[in-house]
Structure 1
Protein backbone atom coordinates (compact mmCIF):
# COMPACT_ATOMS: atom_id res chain seq x y z
CA UNK A 1 0.00 0.00 0.00
CA UNK A 2 1.15 3.50 -0.75
CA UNK A 3 1.05 6.25 1.84
CA UNK A 4 -1.93 7.87 0.12
CA UNK A 5 -3.76 4.52 0.24
CA UNK A 6 -3.13 4.29 3.99
CA UNK A 7 -4.34 7.84 4.53
CA UNK A 8 -7.62 7.26 2.68
CA UNK A 9 -8.14 3.82 4.23
CA UNK A 10 -7.73 5.16 7.77
CA UNK A 11 -10.08 8.07 7.08
CA UNK A 12 -12.84 5.76 5.79
CA UNK A 13 -12.23 3.31 8.66
CA UNK A 14 -12.60 6.17 11.18
CA UNK A 15 -15.77 7.86 9.82
CA UNK A 16 -17.40 4.93 8.01
CA UNK A 17 -18.20 6.71 4.74
CA UNK A 18 -16.59 8.02 1.57
CA UNK A 19 -18.21 11.43 2.00
CA UNK A 20 -16.90 11.77 5.56
CA UNK A 21 -13.40 10.74 4.50
CA UNK A 22 -13.48 13.28 1.68
CA UNK A 23 -14.29 16.06 4.16
CA UNK A 24 -11.48 15.04 6.53
CA UNK A 25 -8.93 14.86 3.72
CA UNK A 26 -10.31 17.91 1.90
CA UNK A 27 -10.61 16.06 -1.40
CA UNK A 28 -13.58 15.03 -3.57
CA UNK A 29 -15.65 11.88 -3.02
CA UNK A 30 -14.77 10.46 -6.46
CA UNK A 31 -11.08 10.85 -5.61
CA UNK A 32 -11.57 8.92 -2.34
CA UNK A 33 -13.44 6.14 -4.17
CA UNK A 34 -10.75 5.95 -6.85
CA UNK A 35 -7.88 5.72 -4.31
CA UNK A 36 -9.77 3.06 -2.28
CA UNK A 37 -10.40 0.94 -5.39
CA UNK A 38 -6.74 1.23 -6.41
CA UNK A 39 -5.66 0.09 -2.94
CA UNK A 40 -8.03 -2.88 -3.01
CA UNK A 41 -6.86 -3.86 -6.52
CA UNK A 42 -3.24 -3.84 -5.34
CA UNK A 43 -4.04 -5.85 -2.20
CA UNK A 44 -6.26 -8.36 -3.98
CA UNK A 45 -9.11 -8.19 -1.45
CA UNK A 46 -11.91 -5.88 -0.34
CA UNK A 47 -11.34 -3.56 2.59
CA UNK A 48 -14.96 -2.56 3.21
CA UNK A 49 -18.43 -3.94 2.64
CA UNK A 50 -21.57 -1.82 2.57
CA UNK A 51 -24.11 -2.63 5.28
CA UNK A 52 -27.25 -0.45 5.67
CA UNK A 53 -25.59 2.45 3.83
CA UNK A 54 -22.39 2.36 5.89
CA UNK A 55 -18.96 1.05 4.95
CA UNK A 56 -17.97 -1.64 7.42
CA UNK A 57 -14.37 -2.95 7.57
CA UNK A 58 -13.78 -6.52 6.47
CA UNK A 59 -11.78 -8.95 8.61
CA UNK A 60 -8.77 -8.27 6.39
CA UNK A 61 -9.26 -4.51 6.89
CA UNK A 62 -9.11 -4.94 10.67
CA UNK A 63 -5.68 -6.53 10.32
CA UNK A 64 -4.53 -3.81 7.90
CA UNK A 65 -5.77 -1.09 10.26
CA UNK A 66 -3.80 -2.46 13.22
CA UNK A 67 -0.63 -2.53 11.11
CA UNK A 68 -1.11 0.88 9.49
CA UNK A 69 -2.26 2.84 12.55
CA UNK A 70 1.33 3.29 13.74
CA UNK A 71 2.35 4.54 10.29
CA UNK A 72 -0.56 6.97 10.21
CA UNK A 73 0.29 8.29 13.69
CA UNK A 74 3.93 8.75 12.67
CA UNK A 75 2.88 10.70 9.56
CA UNK A 76 0.62 12.93 11.70
CA UNK A 77 3.48 13.47 14.16
CA UNK A 78 5.85 14.32 11.31
CA UNK A 79 3.36 16.83 9.92
CA UNK A 80 3.10 18.48 13.34
CA UNK A 81 6.90 18.72 13.57
CA UNK A 82 7.13 20.21 10.08
CA UNK A 83 4.44 22.78 10.93
CA UNK A 84 6.32 23.73 14.10
CA UNK A 85 9.56 24.06 12.15
CA UNK A 86 7.86 26.35 9.65
CA UNK A 87 6.60 28.53 12.50
CA UNK A 88 9.99 28.52 14.24
CA UNK A 89 8.52 26.86 17.33
CA UNK A 90 10.66 23.73 17.46
CA UNK A 91 14.02 22.29 16.51
CA UNK A 92 17.46 22.76 18.03
CA UNK A 93 19.51 25.94 18.16
CA UNK A 94 23.17 26.04 19.18
CA UNK A 95 24.23 29.42 20.57
CA UNK A 96 27.64 30.85 21.39
CA UNK A 97 27.96 34.20 23.16
CA UNK A 98 30.57 36.31 24.85
CA UNK A 99 30.50 36.02 28.65
CA UNK A 100 28.95 39.47 29.10
CA UNK A 101 25.80 38.15 27.41
CA UNK A 102 26.14 34.40 27.84
CA UNK A 103 26.18 34.23 31.65
CA UNK A 104 22.81 35.86 32.30
CA UNK A 105 21.21 37.75 29.42
CA UNK A 106 21.13 34.85 26.92
CA UNK A 107 20.03 32.22 29.50
CA UNK A 108 17.19 34.53 30.55
CA UNK A 109 16.11 34.91 26.92
CA UNK A 110 16.29 31.15 26.28
CA UNK A 111 14.16 30.29 29.32
CA UNK A 112 11.56 32.93 28.46
CA UNK A 113 11.49 31.77 24.82
CA UNK A 114 10.99 28.14 25.86
CA UNK A 115 8.09 29.06 28.13
CA UNK A 116 6.32 30.21 24.99
CA UNK A 117 7.80 27.55 22.68
CA UNK A 118 8.47 24.41 24.78
CA UNK A 119 9.41 22.29 21.74
CA UNK A 120 12.50 24.42 21.06
CA UNK A 121 15.80 22.96 22.28
CA UNK A 122 19.00 24.91 22.91
CA UNK A 123 22.72 24.50 23.47
CA UNK A 124 24.47 27.51 25.04
CA UNK A 125 28.21 28.13 25.17
CA UNK A 126 30.14 31.13 26.44
CA UNK A 127 33.45 31.89 24.81
CA UNK A 128 36.00 34.66 24.51
CA UNK A 129 35.48 37.22 21.76
CA UNK A 130 38.58 35.98 19.89
CA UNK A 131 37.19 32.44 19.69
CA UNK A 132 33.63 33.29 18.68
CA UNK A 133 34.25 33.53 14.93
CA UNK A 134 36.03 30.18 14.79
CA UNK A 135 33.21 28.53 16.72
CA UNK A 136 30.71 29.61 14.05
CA UNK A 137 32.96 29.00 11.04
CA UNK A 138 33.73 25.47 12.23
CA UNK A 139 29.94 24.93 12.55
CA UNK A 140 30.27 23.99 16.20
CA UNK A 141 27.42 26.45 16.91
CA UNK A 142 24.71 27.98 14.71
CA UNK A 143 24.71 31.57 15.97
CA UNK A 144 27.19 33.75 17.83
CA UNK A 145 26.17 36.89 19.73
CA UNK A 146 28.70 39.55 20.65
CA UNK A 147 29.52 43.25 20.96
CA UNK A 148 30.98 44.89 17.85
CA UNK A 149 32.13 41.61 16.25
CA UNK A 150 34.81 42.17 13.64
CA UNK A 151 33.77 41.48 10.06
CA UNK A 152 35.17 38.24 8.74
CA UNK A 153 34.89 36.44 5.42
CA UNK A 154 32.37 33.62 5.53
CA UNK A 155 30.16 35.22 8.19
CA UNK A 156 26.95 37.24 8.00
CA UNK A 157 25.84 39.75 10.63
CA UNK A 158 22.47 40.73 12.09
CA UNK A 159 22.20 43.96 14.10
CA UNK A 160 20.15 43.29 17.24
CA UNK A 161 20.57 46.55 19.11
CA UNK A 162 23.02 48.85 20.85
CA UNK A 163 24.43 49.25 24.32
CA UNK A 164 26.61 51.60 26.34
CA UNK A 165 29.54 51.49 28.69
CA UNK A 166 28.83 52.37 32.32
CA UNK A 167 30.92 52.83 35.44
CA UNK A 168 30.05 50.36 38.22
CA UNK A 169 30.75 50.94 41.90
CA UNK A 170 29.69 49.42 45.22
CA UNK A 171 29.98 52.30 47.70
CA UNK A 172 28.62 55.83 47.63
CA UNK A 173 31.41 57.53 45.68
CA UNK A 174 29.24 58.57 42.76
CA UNK A 175 25.82 58.85 44.43
CA UNK A 176 25.93 62.66 44.42
CA UNK A 177 27.17 62.92 40.85
CA UNK A 178 24.87 63.61 37.88
CA UNK A 179 23.19 60.69 36.08
CA UNK A 180 26.13 60.62 33.69
CA UNK A 181 29.74 60.94 34.78
CA UNK A 182 32.89 61.75 32.89
CA UNK A 183 35.91 59.47 32.63
CA UNK A 184 37.88 62.15 34.48
CA UNK A 185 35.46 61.83 37.44
CA UNK A 186 36.89 58.38 38.14
CA UNK A 187 40.16 60.12 38.99
CA UNK A 188 42.62 58.14 41.05
CA UNK A 189 40.12 55.65 42.42
CA UNK A 190 41.21 51.99 42.31
CA UNK A 191 39.99 50.64 38.98
CA UNK A 192 39.47 47.03 37.86
CA UNK A 193 40.95 46.60 34.37
CA UNK A 194 39.79 44.13 31.71
CA UNK A 195 42.37 41.96 29.95
CA UNK A 196 42.22 41.77 26.15
CA UNK A 197 38.55 42.76 25.91
CA UNK A 198 38.44 42.85 22.11
CA UNK A 199 36.85 45.68 20.08
CA UNK A 200 35.18 47.15 23.17
CA UNK A 201 38.52 47.40 24.91
CA UNK A 202 39.93 49.36 21.97
CA UNK A 203 36.90 51.65 22.05
CA UNK A 204 37.26 52.31 25.77
CA UNK A 205 41.03 52.85 25.60
CA UNK A 206 40.53 55.49 22.93
CA UNK A 207 38.10 57.38 25.17
CA UNK A 208 40.42 57.16 28.17
CA UNK A 209 43.37 58.39 26.13
CA UNK A 210 41.35 61.32 24.79
CA UNK A 211 40.36 62.33 28.33
CA UNK A 212 43.99 62.36 29.51
CA UNK A 213 42.90 60.41 32.58
CA UNK A 214 45.31 58.13 34.42
CA UNK A 215 43.56 55.36 36.32
CA UNK A 216 45.04 53.23 39.10
CA UNK A 217 44.72 49.62 37.91
CA UNK A 218 46.00 47.08 40.44
CA UNK A 219 43.67 44.22 39.41
CA UNK A 220 43.00 43.01 35.86
CA UNK A 221 40.11 40.62 35.19
CA UNK A 222 39.67 38.48 32.12
CA UNK A 223 35.95 39.20 31.75
CA UNK A 224 33.52 41.97 32.60
CA UNK A 225 31.61 39.54 34.81
CA UNK A 226 34.66 38.88 36.99
CA UNK A 227 35.18 42.65 37.22
CA UNK A 228 31.56 43.00 38.36
CA UNK A 229 32.10 40.60 41.24
CA UNK A 230 35.39 42.27 42.22
CA UNK A 231 33.61 45.62 42.38
CA UNK A 232 30.77 44.06 44.42
CA UNK A 233 33.36 42.83 46.95
CA UNK A 234 34.84 46.31 47.33
CA UNK A 235 37.78 45.94 44.97
CA UNK A 236 37.28 49.32 43.31
CA UNK A 237 35.33 50.64 40.34
CA UNK A 238 35.20 49.39 36.75
CA UNK A 239 33.94 50.43 33.35
CA UNK A 240 31.88 47.63 31.81
CA UNK A 241 29.01 47.12 29.39
CA UNK A 242 25.54 47.91 30.67
CA UNK A 243 24.36 44.28 30.35
CA UNK A 244 27.01 43.12 32.81
CA UNK A 245 26.17 46.06 35.11
CA UNK A 246 22.49 45.06 35.17
CA UNK A 247 23.18 41.38 35.90
CA UNK A 248 23.03 39.72 39.30
CA UNK A 249 26.63 38.82 40.19
CA UNK A 250 27.34 37.96 43.81
CA UNK A 251 25.78 41.25 44.95
CA UNK A 252 24.08 44.21 43.31
CA UNK A 253 26.27 47.13 42.30
CA UNK A 254 25.42 50.69 41.32
CA UNK A 255 26.23 52.18 37.96
CA UNK A 256 26.37 55.48 36.13
CA UNK A 257 26.33 56.05 32.40
CA UNK A 258 29.23 57.93 30.81
CA UNK A 259 29.37 61.47 29.46
CA UNK A 260 29.85 61.53 26.53
CA UNK A 261 28.06 58.21 25.90
CA UNK A 262 30.25 55.40 24.62
CA UNK A 263 28.06 53.09 22.54
CA UNK A 264 28.58 49.71 20.91
CA UNK A 265 26.49 47.37 18.77
CA UNK A 266 25.03 44.01 19.75
CA UNK A 267 25.17 41.68 16.75
CA UNK A 268 24.52 38.07 15.84
CA UNK A 269 26.81 36.26 13.43
CA UNK A 270 26.25 33.07 11.46
CA UNK A 271 27.94 31.21 8.63
CA UNK A 272 26.94 32.58 5.22
CA UNK A 273 26.78 29.08 3.72
CA UNK A 274 24.36 27.98 6.45
CA UNK A 275 21.36 30.36 6.44
CA UNK A 276 19.46 30.92 9.66
CA UNK A 277 16.71 28.42 10.38
CA UNK A 278 13.17 29.54 11.13
CA UNK A 279 13.90 28.86 14.80
CA UNK A 280 17.09 30.93 14.63
CA UNK A 281 15.30 33.91 13.07
CA UNK A 282 12.43 33.58 15.52
CA UNK A 283 14.77 33.52 18.54
CA UNK A 284 16.85 36.50 17.39
CA UNK A 285 13.67 38.51 16.80
CA UNK A 286 12.47 37.54 20.28
CA UNK A 287 15.84 38.41 21.85
CA UNK A 288 15.79 41.83 20.21
CA UNK A 289 12.18 42.74 21.03
CA UNK A 290 11.74 41.12 24.44
CA UNK A 291 15.21 41.44 25.98
CA UNK A 292 17.15 44.27 24.34
CA UNK A 293 14.34 46.67 23.46
CA UNK A 294 12.54 46.33 26.81
CA UNK A 295 15.47 47.06 29.14
CA UNK A 296 15.31 50.24 31.19
CA UNK A 297 16.98 53.18 29.45
CA UNK A 298 20.16 54.76 30.75
CA UNK A 299 19.97 58.47 31.53
Structure 2
Protein backbone atom coordinates (compact mmCIF):
# COMPACT_ATOMS: atom_id res chain seq x y z
CA UNK A 1 0.00 0.00 0.00
CA UNK A 2 1.30 3.46 -0.89
CA UNK A 3 1.99 5.75 2.07
CA UNK A 4 1.56 9.51 2.15
CA UNK A 5 5.27 10.19 1.56
CA UNK A 6 5.25 8.07 -1.60
CA UNK A 7 2.16 9.86 -2.83
CA UNK A 8 3.92 13.18 -2.16
CA UNK A 9 6.89 12.09 -4.29
CA UNK A 10 4.58 10.88 -7.07
CA UNK A 11 2.66 14.16 -7.03
CA UNK A 12 5.89 16.22 -7.09
CA UNK A 13 7.09 14.36 -10.21
CA UNK A 14 3.75 14.93 -11.93
CA UNK A 15 3.84 18.65 -11.14
CA UNK A 16 7.56 19.21 -11.91
CA UNK A 17 7.62 16.99 -15.00
CA UNK A 18 10.97 15.43 -14.08
CA UNK A 19 12.59 13.40 -11.34
CA UNK A 20 15.28 16.06 -10.91
CA UNK A 21 12.70 18.83 -10.47
CA UNK A 22 10.76 16.73 -7.98
CA UNK A 23 13.94 16.00 -6.05
CA UNK A 24 14.78 19.70 -5.91
CA UNK A 25 11.31 20.50 -4.57
CA UNK A 26 11.44 17.72 -1.97
CA UNK A 27 15.14 18.22 -1.18
CA UNK A 28 15.91 14.67 -2.30
CA UNK A 29 18.63 13.39 -4.61
CA UNK A 30 17.65 12.21 -8.09
CA UNK A 31 18.72 8.61 -7.34
CA UNK A 32 16.55 8.63 -4.21
CA UNK A 33 13.56 9.79 -6.26
CA UNK A 34 14.22 7.09 -8.86
CA UNK A 35 14.40 4.44 -6.16
CA UNK A 36 11.09 5.69 -4.69
CA UNK A 37 9.44 5.48 -8.12
CA UNK A 38 10.60 1.88 -8.61
CA UNK A 39 9.25 0.97 -5.18
CA UNK A 40 5.89 2.58 -6.00
CA UNK A 41 5.69 0.75 -9.31
CA UNK A 42 6.32 -2.54 -7.50
CA UNK A 43 3.49 -1.75 -5.10
CA UNK A 44 0.90 -0.69 -7.69
CA UNK A 45 1.92 -3.31 -10.27
CA UNK A 46 2.25 -1.04 -13.30
CA UNK A 47 4.66 1.50 -14.79
CA UNK A 48 4.20 5.10 -13.68
CA UNK A 49 6.70 7.05 -15.83
CA UNK A 50 8.67 6.70 -19.04
CA UNK A 51 11.92 8.66 -19.53
CA UNK A 52 11.56 10.64 -22.77
CA UNK A 53 14.18 13.31 -23.63
CA UNK A 54 15.09 13.74 -19.95
CA UNK A 55 11.48 14.19 -18.92
CA UNK A 56 9.30 11.92 -16.81
CA UNK A 57 6.41 11.11 -19.12
CA UNK A 58 3.49 9.78 -17.07
CA UNK A 59 1.71 6.68 -18.29
CA UNK A 60 -2.09 6.83 -18.76
CA UNK A 61 -2.44 4.90 -15.52
CA UNK A 62 -0.31 7.49 -13.70
CA UNK A 63 -2.44 10.33 -15.12
CA UNK A 64 -5.60 8.66 -13.82
CA UNK A 65 -3.94 7.99 -10.46
CA UNK A 66 -2.83 11.62 -10.19
CA UNK A 67 -6.43 12.84 -10.23
CA UNK A 68 -7.17 10.86 -7.08
CA UNK A 69 -3.85 11.70 -5.42
CA UNK A 70 -4.47 15.40 -5.99
CA UNK A 71 -7.79 15.07 -4.13
CA UNK A 72 -5.94 13.49 -1.20
CA UNK A 73 -3.50 16.38 -0.96
CA UNK A 74 -6.29 18.92 -1.21
CA UNK A 75 -7.92 17.21 1.78
CA UNK A 76 -4.58 17.21 3.61
CA UNK A 77 -4.24 20.96 3.03
CA UNK A 78 -7.70 21.48 4.53
CA UNK A 79 -6.70 19.44 7.59
CA UNK A 80 -3.45 21.40 7.95
CA UNK A 81 -5.33 24.71 7.77
CA UNK A 82 -7.84 23.46 10.34
CA UNK A 83 -4.95 22.47 12.63
CA UNK A 84 -3.42 25.93 12.26
CA UNK A 85 -6.77 27.51 13.06
CA UNK A 86 -7.08 25.31 16.14
CA UNK A 87 -3.58 26.35 17.19
CA UNK A 88 -4.53 30.01 16.82
CA UNK A 89 -8.00 29.46 18.37
CA UNK A 90 -9.62 30.49 15.09
CA UNK A 91 -11.90 27.48 14.74
CA UNK A 92 -13.52 24.78 16.82
CA UNK A 93 -16.62 24.51 18.98
CA UNK A 94 -17.36 26.35 22.24
CA UNK A 95 -20.14 25.07 24.52
CA UNK A 96 -21.55 27.42 27.15
CA UNK A 97 -24.34 27.45 29.73
CA UNK A 98 -25.74 30.30 31.79
CA UNK A 99 -28.93 31.46 33.47
CA UNK A 100 -31.59 33.05 31.20
CA UNK A 101 -31.07 36.60 32.46
CA UNK A 102 -27.30 36.45 32.05
CA UNK A 103 -27.80 35.19 28.50
CA UNK A 104 -29.20 38.64 27.75
CA UNK A 105 -26.44 40.56 29.49
CA UNK A 106 -22.65 40.44 29.70
CA UNK A 107 -22.37 36.82 28.51
CA UNK A 108 -23.85 37.64 25.11
CA UNK A 109 -21.74 40.80 25.03
CA UNK A 110 -18.65 38.64 25.51
CA UNK A 111 -19.83 36.28 22.77
CA UNK A 112 -20.26 39.18 20.33
CA UNK A 113 -16.74 40.41 21.07
CA UNK A 114 -15.35 36.89 20.75
CA UNK A 115 -17.13 36.37 17.42
CA UNK A 116 -15.57 39.50 15.97
CA UNK A 117 -12.13 38.04 16.71
CA UNK A 118 -12.91 34.42 15.80
CA UNK A 119 -15.87 34.26 13.38
CA UNK A 120 -15.23 30.61 12.43
CA UNK A 121 -15.73 29.23 15.94
CA UNK A 122 -19.10 27.57 16.43
CA UNK A 123 -20.86 28.42 19.70
CA UNK A 124 -23.60 26.57 21.55
CA UNK A 125 -25.19 28.62 24.35
CA UNK A 126 -27.60 26.77 26.61
CA UNK A 127 -29.76 28.47 29.23
CA UNK A 128 -30.45 26.47 32.37
CA UNK A 129 -30.91 26.65 36.13
CA UNK A 130 -27.92 26.95 38.43
CA UNK A 131 -28.15 23.29 39.44
CA UNK A 132 -28.40 22.17 35.82
CA UNK A 133 -25.36 24.27 34.88
CA UNK A 134 -23.34 22.73 37.71
CA UNK A 135 -24.33 19.26 36.56
CA UNK A 136 -23.40 20.09 32.96
CA UNK A 137 -19.99 21.41 34.04
CA UNK A 138 -19.35 18.47 36.38
CA UNK A 139 -20.05 15.98 33.60
CA UNK A 140 -17.96 17.98 31.06
CA UNK A 141 -20.97 18.58 28.81
CA UNK A 142 -20.05 22.28 28.58
CA UNK A 143 -16.72 24.07 28.39
CA UNK A 144 -17.85 26.94 30.62
CA UNK A 145 -20.89 27.81 32.69
CA UNK A 146 -21.84 31.09 34.36
CA UNK A 147 -23.90 31.15 37.57
CA UNK A 148 -24.65 33.47 40.51
CA UNK A 149 -24.72 31.21 43.50
CA UNK A 150 -21.61 29.88 45.25
CA UNK A 151 -20.76 26.48 43.84
CA UNK A 152 -19.38 23.58 45.82
CA UNK A 153 -18.83 20.52 43.67
CA UNK A 154 -15.74 18.28 43.67
CA UNK A 155 -15.82 17.95 39.88
CA UNK A 156 -16.15 21.68 39.17
CA UNK A 157 -13.60 24.50 39.16
CA UNK A 158 -15.01 27.92 40.13
CA UNK A 159 -13.69 31.37 39.19
CA UNK A 160 -15.40 34.57 40.50
CA UNK A 161 -15.96 37.28 37.90
CA UNK A 162 -17.06 40.54 39.55
CA UNK A 163 -19.30 41.82 42.31
CA UNK A 164 -22.72 43.35 41.89
CA UNK A 165 -25.76 43.59 44.18
CA UNK A 166 -29.41 42.65 44.44
CA UNK A 167 -31.75 45.20 42.93
CA UNK A 168 -35.38 46.15 43.47
CA UNK A 169 -37.40 46.13 40.25
CA UNK A 170 -40.77 47.87 39.91
CA UNK A 171 -43.12 49.63 37.53
CA UNK A 172 -42.40 53.34 36.89
CA UNK A 173 -45.61 54.38 38.66
CA UNK A 174 -44.91 52.37 41.80
CA UNK A 175 -44.98 54.47 45.02
CA UNK A 176 -41.33 53.56 45.75
CA UNK A 177 -40.01 54.41 42.28
CA UNK A 178 -38.98 57.93 43.32
CA UNK A 179 -36.59 56.70 46.01
CA UNK A 180 -32.87 56.39 45.30
CA UNK A 181 -32.58 53.10 47.21
CA UNK A 182 -34.89 50.87 49.20
CA UNK A 183 -34.59 49.46 52.70
CA UNK A 184 -36.66 46.73 54.40
CA UNK A 185 -38.71 49.42 56.14
CA UNK A 186 -39.61 50.90 52.71
CA UNK A 187 -40.56 47.53 51.27
CA UNK A 188 -42.43 46.01 54.23
CA UNK A 189 -45.81 47.71 53.47
CA UNK A 190 -45.70 46.62 49.81
CA UNK A 191 -46.01 43.36 47.92
CA UNK A 192 -42.63 41.69 47.49
CA UNK A 193 -41.80 39.31 44.64
CA UNK A 194 -38.80 37.00 45.00
CA UNK A 195 -37.12 34.17 43.16
CA UNK A 196 -37.61 31.42 45.72
CA UNK A 197 -35.15 29.20 43.84
CA UNK A 198 -32.26 31.43 44.99
CA UNK A 199 -32.31 30.13 48.55
CA UNK A 200 -29.11 31.85 49.64
CA UNK A 201 -30.27 35.28 48.48
CA UNK A 202 -33.65 34.76 50.09
CA UNK A 203 -31.89 33.92 53.37
CA UNK A 204 -29.82 37.12 53.12
CA UNK A 205 -32.98 39.13 52.45
CA UNK A 206 -34.65 37.63 55.51
CA UNK A 207 -31.62 38.48 57.61
CA UNK A 208 -31.71 42.11 56.41
CA UNK A 209 -35.41 42.40 57.31
CA UNK A 210 -34.89 40.75 60.69
CA UNK A 211 -32.23 43.31 61.61
CA UNK A 212 -34.96 45.94 61.36
CA UNK A 213 -37.37 43.63 63.22
CA UNK A 214 -39.43 43.14 60.09
CA UNK A 215 -40.53 40.08 58.15
CA UNK A 216 -39.70 39.61 54.47
CA UNK A 217 -43.18 38.53 53.46
CA UNK A 218 -42.93 37.39 49.86
CA UNK A 219 -46.45 37.85 48.51
CA UNK A 220 -45.44 36.28 45.19
CA UNK A 221 -42.76 33.61 44.91
CA UNK A 222 -41.49 32.17 41.64
CA UNK A 223 -38.62 30.04 40.42
CA UNK A 224 -37.68 32.49 37.66
CA UNK A 225 -36.06 35.93 37.78
CA UNK A 226 -37.64 36.72 34.41
CA UNK A 227 -41.10 35.91 35.76
CA UNK A 228 -40.47 37.99 38.90
CA UNK A 229 -39.47 41.01 36.81
CA UNK A 230 -42.41 40.55 34.45
CA UNK A 231 -44.78 40.57 37.42
CA UNK A 232 -43.11 43.71 38.77
CA UNK A 233 -43.33 45.43 35.39
CA UNK A 234 -47.08 44.80 35.35
CA UNK A 235 -47.49 46.38 38.79
CA UNK A 236 -47.82 43.26 40.95
CA UNK A 237 -45.20 44.41 43.43
CA UNK A 238 -41.44 44.96 43.89
CA UNK A 239 -39.17 42.18 42.66
CA UNK A 240 -35.86 41.76 44.50
CA UNK A 241 -33.55 39.96 42.08
CA UNK A 242 -30.07 39.63 40.62
CA UNK A 243 -29.53 42.53 38.21
CA UNK A 244 -28.02 40.88 35.12
CA UNK A 245 -30.18 41.26 32.03
CA UNK A 246 -33.02 43.12 33.76
CA UNK A 247 -32.54 46.41 31.90
CA UNK A 248 -32.20 44.58 28.59
CA UNK A 249 -35.31 42.45 29.10
CA UNK A 250 -37.48 44.93 31.00
CA UNK A 251 -36.66 48.47 29.81
CA UNK A 252 -39.98 49.81 31.17
CA UNK A 253 -39.07 49.00 34.78
CA UNK A 254 -37.29 51.07 37.42
CA UNK A 255 -34.27 49.55 39.20
CA UNK A 256 -33.22 50.66 42.68
CA UNK A 257 -30.47 49.16 44.88
CA UNK A 258 -31.52 47.26 47.98
CA UNK A 259 -30.00 48.52 51.25
CA UNK A 260 -28.14 47.22 53.13
CA UNK A 261 -26.34 46.00 50.05
CA UNK A 262 -26.46 42.27 49.33
CA UNK A 263 -23.51 41.35 47.15
CA UNK A 264 -23.89 38.80 44.37
CA UNK A 265 -20.94 37.46 42.39
CA UNK A 266 -21.30 35.86 38.98
CA UNK A 267 -18.98 32.87 38.76
CA UNK A 268 -17.47 30.80 35.98
CA UNK A 269 -17.71 27.06 36.45
CA UNK A 270 -15.94 24.44 34.34
CA UNK A 271 -14.98 20.77 34.52
CA UNK A 272 -12.12 20.34 36.98
CA UNK A 273 -10.55 17.31 35.33
CA UNK A 274 -10.79 18.49 31.71
CA UNK A 275 -8.21 20.89 30.28
CA UNK A 276 -9.74 23.97 28.67
CA UNK A 277 -9.10 24.21 24.92
CA UNK A 278 -7.37 27.17 23.28
CA UNK A 279 -10.77 28.37 22.11
CA UNK A 280 -12.15 28.05 25.64
CA UNK A 281 -9.20 29.89 27.19
CA UNK A 282 -9.58 32.69 24.66
CA UNK A 283 -13.27 33.12 25.47
CA UNK A 284 -12.59 32.92 29.21
CA UNK A 285 -10.19 35.87 28.93
CA UNK A 286 -12.84 37.95 27.16
CA UNK A 287 -15.52 36.92 29.68
CA UNK A 288 -13.29 38.02 32.56
CA UNK A 289 -12.78 41.40 30.91
CA UNK A 290 -16.48 41.96 30.18
CA UNK A 291 -18.06 44.33 32.71
CA UNK A 292 -21.80 45.02 32.53
CA UNK A 293 -23.11 48.56 32.81
CA UNK A 294 -25.59 48.54 35.69
CA UNK A 295 -26.07 52.28 36.00
TM-score band, normalised by the shorter chain?
Answer: 0.7 to 0.9
Of 177, 180, 185, 2:179 maps to 177
CA distance in 1, matches of 2:12, 2:138: 48
| Structure 2 partner of 1:258 | 258
Give a deviation string over 1:44-83, Cα, whole Å, max 9, x none: 245585868x876554442232011221111111112222
CA distance in 1, matches of 2:39, 2:155: 53
| Structure 2 partner of 1:86 | 87
CA distance in 2, matches of 1:208, 1:51: 99
CA distance in 2, matches of 1:14, 1:211: 87
Name the structure where strand makes up a greater proportion of residues.
Answer: 1
1:197 deviates by 0.9
1:92 deviates by 2.2
| Structure 2 partner of 1:159 | 160
| Structure 2 partner of 1:41 | 38
**1:130-209 to 2 correspondence within 5 Å?**
130-172=131-173, 173-178=175-180, 180-209=181-210
1:184 deviates by 3.3
Q: Is the 8 A contact 1:12 1:20 kept in 2?
A: yes
Unpaired runs of 5+ residues, structure 1, are none
Q: Is the 8 A contact 2:130 2:149 kept in 1?
A: no
Aligned residues: 288
1:35 deviates by 6.6
Aligned-residue CA RMSD (Å) = 3.3
**1:89-100 to 2 correspondence within 5 Å?**
89-100=90-101
Query: In structure 2, the residue corresponding to 1:99 is in which secondary structure?
Result: coil
Query: In structure 1, the residue corresponding to 2:161 is in which secondary structure?
Result: strand
The answer to whether structure 1 residue 239 and structure 2 residue 245 are counterparts is: no
CA distance in 1, matches of 2:51, 2:201: 77
CA distance in 2, matches of 1:15, 1:258: 77
CA distance in 1, matches of 2:148, 2:117: 27
CA spacing shift, 1:152–1:187, aligned 2, 3 Å: same
**1:219-238 to 2 correspondence within 5 Å?**
219-238=220-239
Q: Is the 8 A contact 2:103 2:245 kept in 1?
A: no
Q: Is the 8 A contact 1:18 1:32 kept in 2?
A: no
1:238 deviates by 1.1
CA distance in 2, matches of 1:142, 1:19: 51
Q: Is the 8 A contact 1:137 1:154 kept in 2?
A: yes
| Structure 2 partner of 1:30 | 27
Give a deviation string over 1:231-252, Cα, whole Å, max 9, x none: 1111111111120322314x53
Quick check: which has more Rg, 1 or 2? Answer: 2
| Structure 1 partner of 2:127 | 126
CA spacing shift, 1:65–1:160, aligned 2, 3 Å: farther
Q: Is the 8 A contact 2:91 2:120 kept in 1?
A: yes
Give a deviation string over 1:12-52, Cα, whole Å, max 9, x none: 544667898789xxxx7533757744531321245585868
| Structure 2 partner of 1:6 | 7
